[in-house]
Structure 1
Amino acid sequence: TFARRALGKISELSQLETISSSPQTPGVAKIFREATVKVSVMIFKRAVIESRRKPKGILRPKQRTNYKDSHNLPWPHNATEQLLAEMFQGSAAQFLAITETLSGGNRRVLQTRPPTPPEHEVFDVTTELFLTGVLLLSGGGGNTQLNAAACTDPIGGINITSSLIELSATGEDGVSVEAAVRFVKSVFCYEYLEIFDGIIAPLLTFLRKHANPAWQGYELDLDLLIAMEPFVSARKPRHGLSGGGSCAIGGTIQPGGTVISCDDLVILAEAMFAYTCTPLEVCFKDFEN
């Protein structure tokens, strides 16, 4: 494919640069490493799906995986994790591949819908991507090769000093704050709400504890998702958080002097107002296509 040929050309150019008479600058080496990661991500996005599709004309019995039993299994323990381990060094590059794969298509974060592929194998890939993302975010996989049972902090893998592409290019472990928020948005969009409930509270607590002005937009993003959750599912959220300002503690609002009890619509309206009207500092994305 084009991406594989491009990866080969990048490798050739990097080798030529290495053996050239002029000394290679750190900036040039960084460019080659980042380009290699980005093209590898493009290859992964296709390979992780195509490798699981059934050949046309071949009938095979449906075999659904019980992912609840995988908590104590060593890394990598499924086909998706195996492909990540083969293609990328470090949890940062692996997490980048996951977020890029899940953010493809025509999805919008608040227009949620579960994955509905025609083949159940593709549905399994989506589930494996999310479960692996949870593991990497908690500090597992990557160079550590820790499994889910060994990672007790849901956001233990966050790195606040470098962007995800910088960590990926050097083969390091870690997940940037921007990437963590982006992953949570994908979790919400695909309606994996049990995973969402397990991540959202620790991540919001982390953001508010550090009080970084550049992260204020991420807090507003997550507050809006919390306010939207009652409209996505009838199940009761298990994260223990409430959206909105005064409504979050059971108060009331008084538009036009009329006392109105707070409800989900009011909380959502408050969250949307804060989201659209709060001035934010500029945040730079981890990865540009």
Structure 2
Amino acid sequence: MATYFVGDLQGCFDELQLLLDRVQFNPTQDKLYLVGDLVARGNKSLECLRFVKSLGNAAQTVLGNHDLHLISTALGIKEVKPRDRVEAIFNAPDFEELIDWLRHQPLLVHNENQGFVMVHAGISPDWDLATAKTCAKEVETILQQGDIKKLISQMYDNQPERWSPNLQGIERWRYTINVFTRMRFCYWDHRLDFACKQPPKEAPPELTPWFNLDNPLYQRIPIIFGHWASLVDEPTPPNIYALDTGCVWNNRMTLLCWEDKQCFSQSAVKNYCDF
């Protein structure tokens, strides 16, 4: 039995299949974890959704920002962006079933037995693990059985930029969503920044990657995440595993075997960047 993690798919279905074939992934024995953003920009988002869903308990994804945006467009809150190439999902006979499955996926996965946490973008520098899990569960509950339309319609904002345990309602939930699905850089005082998407060495000095800030959680438990394609080939601290290597930007997709920490990569098989 092997445990695998794969970086952002973003509709790059063929590369995923090539990687799984290379490691001889067996869904009756192995487990595949996905760091979110199953859809958008690549040309096979529908195939990605269907495949991950079809794996059942052999796969587990978390929600990324593109996944939440797909839910938003499915609810009629936002319009579909042509460059996201998700029209096939909306035309599929299993459209509603796929969206319902997607909204039931978590924001955070904590595997106590294997000792890791998986999220799409990161964990707030102001959170311990218990707070992160509590905040994730609050939003997940609304997505799965609450007023999802109200939540999604109000999530598109950069405020509040700093965590406080006194945050309540939509401000608390929006901060949670932004941390788990959009965060890259923070100011040194832990405020979130959403403007800079560059590699750390090109960032202004007042910003630093979230995982470089002083949070004991970052040293205590391995954190696997995606979202940040410009981190490709950039060093990260021990316990921090950045798996988005920009396949949809004509770079490569990365698969990590957890047991021996071996990485496998697959270059993009087509030019996705003609949007």
Q: Which has the higher strand share?
A: 2
Which has the higher Rg, Structure 1 or Structure 2?
A: 1
What TM-score, normalized by structure 1, do the two folds share? 0.28
What TM-score, normalized by structure 2, do the two folds share? 0.29
More relative contact order in 1 or in 2 (CA 8 Å, sep 6+)? 2
